[in-house]
Structure 1
Amino acid sequence: MPNTPEPGTPESGHEEEPWLSSNEVAKLWPVRKDWLPGVARRADVRVRSFGGASRGTWGAEPTFYSFHPGDVRRAAPAIAKGHVDIPSDWRTDTPDGRRAEFWGALIARVASTLFIAAVLGGLLLILGTVIFLLTVE
């Protein structure tokens, strides 16, 4: 695209508009939040990322992204009209995307509920063991 700057182009010093967060971009684009950085790369939108440092065996820190506001606005009509090649399960306006979003949310809720149940069960087991040991002579 002719209006797209090269990835290494430095930012102008007089830029006043703050870069957009993932939440703000998700409101403008019909794309699932998890896939915003991938769609931004496909649409030639400049992206800054921070975080994601390794924690060794504990995994990595979360990675946060911010998007150039002018590039986001320029790419929004092309994304909405389907001119940018995006898999259908990345989008929020397709049946595949809505299905993937539904199942992702359902699995997260079920996993959270099972984790809380396991923690409460463990606490009750420990409490019952302590009470049993205190009452037995």
Structure 2
Amino acid sequence: MSSTPQPGTSESAHEEEEPWLSSDEVAKLWPVRKDWLPGVARRADVRVRTYGGASRGTWGAEPTFHSFHPGDVRRAAPAIAEGRVGIPSKWRTDTPDGRRTEFWGNLTARVAGTLMLLALLGGVLLILGTGVFLLTVE
């Protein structure tokens, strides 16, 4: 993220500028799931800086990070909390749909992670068992 001022901005205005907020900081202020913060920011007219996300060719892309303008975030917080910004209920953390979606997403990730660890452990045990069998056979 570049910290250079916009053309035509005086130096004193740039020095007094508040640092932009990270996704973690905005997630504490808005009742919105972290994945959907950029979409909600667009709907609430909050300025967002996006950086990262460059292509890595066959390996996908770099992670994308977002920074949010602090004044815009504070201005939009009451409207988002009161539901005056059109946000799908699954994006919010204060609705039954949002909590259910987050629960099932977390559960799915944990089950998938556990299954991957079990598969890895099974593979290691299979290789060790094969090695022991081959060493004991005459």
- Give TM-score, length-normalised by structure 2: 0.86
Instruction: Spell out the pairing of 1:85-100 with structure 2 (5 A cutoff).
Output: 85-100=86-101
How far has the Cα of 1:89 moved from its partner? 0.6
Instruction: Spell out the pairing of 1:57-136 with structure 2 (5 A cutoff).
Output: 57-136=58-137
| Other-structure match for 1:7 | none
How far has the Cα of 1:109 moved from its partner? 0.6
Separation in 2 of the partners of 1:107 and 1:130? 35
| Other-structure match for 1:45 | 46
| Other-structure match for 1:27 | 28
How many residue pairs are counted as aligned between the two chains?
Answer: 129
Identity %: 81
RMSD between superposed Cα atoms in Å: 1.6
Separation in 1 of the partners of 2:128 and 2:63? 35
Unaligned runs of at least 5 residues, structure 1: 1-9
Render the CA deviation track for 1:74-119: whole Å, top value 9, x for unaligned.
1101101111110011011111111101101110110110111111
Unaligned runs of at least 5 residues, structure 2: 1-5
